[in-house]
Amino acid sequence: MDSERQNYKVKGRAAKSNHAGRFERHTCEAFDDGWARDEDLPVLRTRTRVEVPRKMISYNRSPDLPFDRSINPYRGCEHGCVYCFARPSHAYLGLSPGLDFETQLIARPDAPEVLRRELANKRYRVAPIAIGTNTDPYQPIERDHRIMRKCLEVLSETGHPTAIVTKGSLIERDIDILEGMAKRDLIRVGISVTTLDAHLSRLMEPRAPAPQRRLAMIRRLSDAGIRVRIMASPMIPALTDPEMEAILAAGHDAGARYASWIMLRLPREVSPLVKEWLAAHFPNRKERIMSRLREMHGGKEYDSTWHKRMSGEGPYAEMVAQRFNVAI
């Protein structure tokens, strides 16, 4: 909650607040009593707890998605992307979708064995498993926990088709596994590039690799024979969407042969977090950006209706979609 943030220096984080999740009955409000000095406060560090999952495969019936199942080795994400649509899921843990989402992480070290058990079930029917759809499996804590690599080993051993979405350069560590899966046509990788501006990226994705580093990842994966998609997502109207063509061209030059895009989504607690971020970094553009989003969602900041939530509707959304089609 806000009192938590008040007790620490907050550096290198995207969220500007830590309001309680929507399921909490009580909230705390911090106030300055005049005694605390910022230089005396400790820096807010990432903390990781362990969870023992009962199951790993989550199923969905969304017609907007090209897959019906996914796994997540971690809850929360240290990349700290301010726009992350998965932030509201932290409220189910009694944590804030704000700073808690990027500093209070959950690791699931038993995930590989649980996954292996589910795949061995006689009733299981094979279809591609998506990884990274909620939180990034190659976020920094994967370097120590290696849960994603172990899950990937299970999927490779069982010959299971897999799709990965990530911004994390740690994926290069696992090229030895991915290359073998690619030879059996079992793997697809999507690399998300939101902007080519390193400064803007650092502001909104503070602990994710810089844009040029992600393009280098595309090159390494492509050179290894792995099918790579450049994901121009999310596009933020009047902030990053002018870069769409440049992002797609850079991805193609790096070796990507597939592409996709998604408009910025602001479900639940994400909306106030993004508005706080815009007020802090782009106050002159805030109202213009929010006006465009409302224009694409029938006057609301977000509409979760299937077939509309990913792209919006109306003239502006249609223009962006047409630009994408021309560019590719």
Answer for the pair 270, 85: CB distance below 8 angstroms, yes or no: yes
What 3 state SS string does 181-198 have?
A: HHHCCCEEEEEECCCCCH
pLDDT category, 11, cuts 50, 70, 90? confident
Give, in order, the Cα–Cα distances in Å from 299 to each of 89, 201, 283, 295.
25, 28, 21, 6
User: For 173-216, what is each residue's pLDDT tens digit?
Assistant: 999 999 999 999 999 999 999 999 999 999 999 999 999 999 99
Quote the pTM value: 0.92
Quote the pLDDT of residue 3. Answer: 40
Phi and psi at residue 9, to the nearest 5°: -80, 130
For the chain, which residues make up each domain, given as ranges?
A: 2-327
Answer for the pair 238, 288: CB distance below 8 angstroms, yes or no: yes
CATH number, domain 2-327: 3.20.20.70
Q: Two tokens at 25?
A: 């009955």
Strand order in the sheet with 69-71: 58-59, 69-71, 129-131, 162-166, 187-192, 227-235, 258-263
The pLDDT of residue 238 is above 90: yes
DSSP three-state, residue 166:
strand
User: For 66-82, what is each residue's pLDDT tens digit?
Assistant: 899 999 999 999 999 99
Average pLDDT rounded to a whole number, residues 91-116: 96
Handedness of CA 22, 23, 29, 30 (dihedral sign): negative
| Cα 97–Cα 99–Cα 101 angle in degrees, nearest 5 | 50
Q: How far is CA 112 from the centre of its chain?
A: 21
Nearest to 82 by CA among 7, 21, 1, 12: 12
- Residue of higher predicted confidence among 39 and 233: 233
Strand order in the sheet with 74-75: 47-50, 104-107, 74-75
Q: Average pLDDT, whole number, for the chain?
A: 93
Other beta carbons less than 10 A from residue 286's beta carbon: 19
Quote the pLDDT of residue 22. Answer: 77
Distance CA 310, CA 296 (A): 11
Phi and psi at residue 46, to the nearest 5°: -75, 135
User: For 160-177, what is each residue's pLDDT tens digit?
Assistant: 999 999 999 999 999 999
Identify the weakest region by mean pLDDT among 39-43, 73-77, 246-250.
Answer: 39-43
Q: Two tokens at 297?
A: 């969602």
Distance CA 21, CA 173 (A): 35
- List, in order, residues 6 or more apart from 21 with CB less than 8 Å away: 88, 90, 91, 92, 94, 95, 96, 97, 269
Distance CA 59, CA 57 (A): 7
Classify strands 58-59 and 104-107 as parallel, antiparallel or unpaired.
unpaired
